[in-house]
Amino acid sequence: MKRTAKVHRKTTETDIRIEMDLDGRGVGSIATSVPFMDHMLNLFSRHSGIDLSVKGTGDTEIDDHHLVEDLGICLGDAIKDALGDKKGIGRYGSATVPMDECLCNLTMDISGRPYLVYHVNLGRRKIGKFDPTLLKEFFKSFSDHSGITLHINLIYGRNGHHIAEAVFKALARALREAITVHENIEGVLSTKGSL
């Protein structure tokens, strides 16, 4: 069974195309027009083992908000589409990832019930030209559109770039665990019979 997806979202503010293979080799081809998000999505692809192609443009002359938020929407939609009926997946994933002085824990449930708990203080200082407060908007959109319950907890850390990397690597590793198919799971892992 191929677990792939293609998503195209075009609005008056953004134009984004995503192609994804959940069972790839972690190859990323990312061009969002926001260099910091290119970096984060490339490392997400590599550490999750998901092949990911993203092409995105938007009204970044205003700021990066619309594009970053819509990238979360499209990535969430792609994950949901690629998972299909979710039969056999482990459903839960958790990862605690260090990045130099930072430590981040991320835990998820592919439950069909989106919910975001986000305890990450990146401050308001820009990372290069990127506004780190936009990452919460990205993860909210991702959770809403993937149907994933997502708890992101920065345990400690000081450097904004390191914190963001730890979060995206934790997302990648937790997702890899949650989407892995197990032969001993019949149907979906739920007493209700659906996710």
Contact 4, 18 (CB under 8 A): no
What is the percentage of the chain residues whose pLDDT exceeds 70? Answer: 100
Tell me the average pLDDT across 5-27: 98
Phi, psi for residue 50 in degrees, rounded to 5: -95, 125
Cα separation, 86 vs 135, in Å, equals 27
- 193 domain residue, yes or no: no
At 55, which CATH number?
3.30.230.40
- 20 domain residue, yes or no: yes
Strand order in the sheet with 4-10: 4-10, 14-21, 51-58, 28-31
- 85 domain residue, yes or no: yes
Question: What is the model's pLDDT at position 193?
Answer: 80
Residue 54 has pLDDT above 90, yes or no: yes
Residue 1 has pLDDT above 80, yes or no: no
- Provide the number of structural domains found in the chain: 1
CB within 8 Å of 61: residues ≥ 6 apart = none
- 192 domain residue, yes or no: no
Residue 70 has pLDDT above 90, yes or no: yes
Tell me the per-residue pLDDT of 123-160, one tens digit each, with 9 for 90 and over: 878 999 999 999 999 999 999 999 999 999 999 999 99
Contact 84, 3 (CB under 8 A): yes
- 124 domain residue, yes or no: yes
CB within 8 Å of 104: residues ≥ 6 apart = 96, 97, 120, 152, 153, 154, 155, 157, 163, 166, 167, 169, 170
Tell me the average pLDDT across 156-178: 97
- 15 domain residue, yes or no: yes
Indicate the pTM of the whole model.
Answer: 0.96
Phi, psi for residue 115 in degrees, rounded to 5: -160, 135
Q: Work out whether strand 92-99 and strand 28-31 pair parallel, antiparallel, or are unpaired.
A: unpaired
Contact 165, 172 (CB under 8 A): no
- 191 domain residue, yes or no: no
- 87 domain residue, yes or no: yes
Query: Domain span at residue 38?
Result: 4-179
